[in-house]
Amino acid sequence: MVNESIAAALKETRSALMTAELEDIALRLFEQRGFDEVTVDEIAAAAGISVRTFYRYFPSKELLLQVDIDRRSVALREALAARRASEPLLASLRAALTEAMGAEDPELLRRWIAVIANNPDLIRGVLGGIQMKIHGALAEFVASRAGPAGDSFTSAILAGAVGGAVQAALRQWVASGGDLPATIAQALEVLEVLRDDPPAPADH
């Protein structure tokens, strides 16, 4: 039983390492030559594996762009789970997001963003992944804090607002550089200010 557990752990580790290697190789090729110009055969060759092995990990090359989203989702859920229940909601979200995003490889993230920005046809799939996995994790956390009195609609709205702030922070970071976690924290602080001091209604 112990040997089986060790074998399973080693298999999982090898799988994670191969997934990360394929992501890194593919993003480099996509950035250099364009997503549409790079074939699965070329990615597999650069990784030193067969095409058949590649397809065991990824049914299509588009799914390579979901690796970053999956990794961020896992890190975010872990960071959210570690926040104190007594901590204000938006403070918990800010702390967890800056922790999760701060753990990412900045060069890999820049390359991921560049590939998507230069290939508009990829945006739908990437946004779908973000909505389902990242915003889903945020909405679940918000709902858990609200308890029985909460509702999924309100949780989804707040998750969308937080997700939008993070996307704005990423755009700012790509354009101007600087410290990514600090930029994300600054963006989320705007939501906290608006919550505490909402703008006055416009005169008609």
pLDDT at 130: 94
168: Cα within 13 Å, side-chain hemisphere: 13
Mean of all residue pLDDT scores within the chain: 89
Q: Is the pLDDT of residue 29 over 90?
A: yes
Neighbours of 110 (CB within 10 A): 17
Q: Please give the pLDDT value at position 94.
A: 95
The CA distance from 98 to 190, in Å, is 14
Q: State percent of the chain over pLDDT 70.
A: 88
Range 31-40, long-range pairs (CB < 8 A, 24+ positions): 31/111, 31/114, 31/115, 34/118, 34/119, 35/61, 35/115, 35/118, 35/119, 35/122, 36/119
pLDDT at 204 over 60: no
Q: Of 11-15, 55-59, 183-187, where does mean pLDDT reach its minimum?
A: 11-15
User: Looking at the predicted structure, is the pLDDT value of residue 71 above 60?
Assistant: yes
Q: What domains, with CATH codes, occur in the chain? A: 2-59 (1.10.10.60), 65-196 (1.10.357.10)
pLDDT digits (tens, 9 = 90+) for 136-164: 999 999 999 876 656 788 888 888 999 99
Q: Are the C-beta atoms of residues 15 and 9 closer than 8 Å to each other?
A: no
The encoded tokens of residue 174 equal: 């790509």
Q: Quick one: pLDDT at residue 179?
A: 94
How far, in Å, CA of 58 to CA of 49, rounded?
A: 13
| Residues 51-74, mean pLDDT to the nearest whole number | 96
Model-level pTM?
A: 0.85
